[in-house]
Amino acid sequence: MAKISVFGIGYVGVVAAACLAKDGHEVVAVDIDPAKVDTINRGKTPIVEKGLEPLIEMTVANGSLRATLDIGEAIAATDLSFVCVGTPSAPDGSVGLTYVVKACEAIAAAIARKKAYHSVVVRSTIVPGTMDKVCIPALEAASGLIAGKDFGVGYYPEFLRESTAIEDYYDPGLIVFGAIDETTDKILHEINAGLPCVCHSVPLATAEMIKYTSNSWRAVKVTFANEIGNIAKACGVDGQQVMKILCSDLKVNISPYFMRPGFAFGGSCLPKDVRALRHLAKEAHVESALLDAVLEANEAQIDRAETMVSQMGGQTIGMVGISFKTGTDDLRESPLASLASRLIAKGYDLKIYDPFVQQAYAEGMSGAGRGNDTSIDLKNRLVGELDDLIDSSDVILVGNHYAEAMQALDQSSDKVPMVDLLRIRPDIRSSGTYQGICW
């Protein structure tokens, strides 16, 4: 079993740390935020993610997982470090590397004081060439050592989906990594040896590109389905039926999950990664018309929803869902949060039902409200009971799927004006005061 330090107790870092500890590895989670470190050491989770808290509680209790603010101590106690810090978009759309560079420099400084061989593996999403042009030079400059000789280097992207991250970890669709030395490559193979998936060991830049290709492909599929849905509706055709039948052709390996006409995409990966890939193409003087159109069309889908709500009349809007997807409290680049902010700015009285965000606030999680970069006074707009939301609203705006809410929403669809960005029932179609965004 390996001794691993995980830098960054965010979504990727905390899930990776808990799962690695469950598998029997000795794991030290490292962060600059004392609240997150304290949360882990108390056996609690800083974020909402299905199955994560009992996993953290168990691994902290048996001593396989702990958290610290002390970088030097973490490096001294482990053989390999995962860098799982954020890479938010820079103002020009390029990938933001500030946190990655700082983490590499801090780790390298600690490695310089360590006699034993240590591997540094970046898991943060970075564009092709970043390891060779930015990370490795930063590691060598801060340590005074030579990468591949004095310490190991690898890149190991994650493909976890929020709300199903632990399931995805143990049943992955793709495992890919790159390493410049045999020691790091061997450890990464050993860590993944028990998983039901082929391990693809590739050059660093190839692994970097696969991550961006994966995220950009998912972004393209969502936008494509929405455009087909919009056109189909204008022709009197059910866009979801069209896409459902198209997705039955599994020979072309289409994932039905992303091929359902509906609302805009969001979250911590797709928007910023499409921006970064566009920026990379521009720097290389390569046309990227489709990627340009993806973000424009995604914004247009938010505009479309805003117009639909405005056409409904009424002043009080009851919004079902505010996080970027069901099953998480994450608001990073949530299109629902963007839509909510616009409606509030127009003077609507907006109330929100989101049980996962509600849970984060009710339990006082350190990550509550994470990613809310809008002007929404989120905590004071949350409504705990769906029936209360429906009864007090002039218009219902459905954004996320919550199993316990579907029956009540369906029963209300012909009684209260409703804008449905999700589709509360497979066969429901736009009629009267019920309007589906793509059907």
Going residue by residue through the chain (439 aa), what tens digit of pLDDT does each one get? 999 999 999 999 999 999 999 999 999 999 999 999 999 999 999 999 999 999 999 999 999 999 999 999 999 999 999 999 999 999 999 999 999 999 999 999 999 999 999 999 999 999 999 999 999 999 999 999 999 999 999 999 999 999 999 999 999 999 999 999 999 999 999 999 999 999 999 999 999 999 999 999 899 989 988 989 999 999 999 999 999 998 888 776 577 778 789 999 999 899 999 999 889 899 988 899 988 999 999 999 999 999 999 999 999 999 999 999 999 999 999 999 999 999 999 999 999 999 999 999 999 998 888 888 887 999 899 999 999 999 999 999 999 999 999 999 999 999 999 999 999 999 999 999 999 999 9
CA distance 324 to 371: 10
For residue 304, being part of any structural domain is answered with: yes
Domain at 432, CATH number = 3.40.50.720
The answer to whether residue 269 is catalytic is yes
| This prediction's pTM | 0.83
> Are 154 and 35 members of one domain?
yes
CA distance 188 to 152: 12
> Are 89 and 187 members of one domain?
yes
> Are 160 and 13 members of one domain?
yes
> Are 159 and 214 members of one domain?
no
CB atoms within 10 A of CB 259: 17
Is the separation of the CB atoms in 217 and 270 below 8 Å?
no
CA distance 232 to 229: 5
Query: Residue positions in the annotated binding site for NAD(+)?
Result: 31, 36, 87, 125, 162, 272, 332
Say how many domains are in the chain. 3
> Are 8 and 73 members of one domain?
yes
Q: Which of 7, 2, 17, 190 is nearest to 110 (CA)?
A: 7
For residue 54, being part of any structural domain is answered with: yes
> Are 351 and 401 members of one domain?
yes
Q: Which of 19, 84, 135, 269 is catalytic?
A: 269
Residue that terminates a domain, selected from 154, 186, 202: 202
CA distance 319 to 376: 13
229: containing domain: 207-259
Residue that terminates a domain, selected from 153, 182, 202: 202
> Are 354 and 390 members of one domain?
yes
User: H helices within 144-250, ranges in order?
Assistant: 165-170, 182-191, 204-234, 239-247
> Are 143 and 28 members of one domain?
yes
Cα 289 off chain centre by: 25
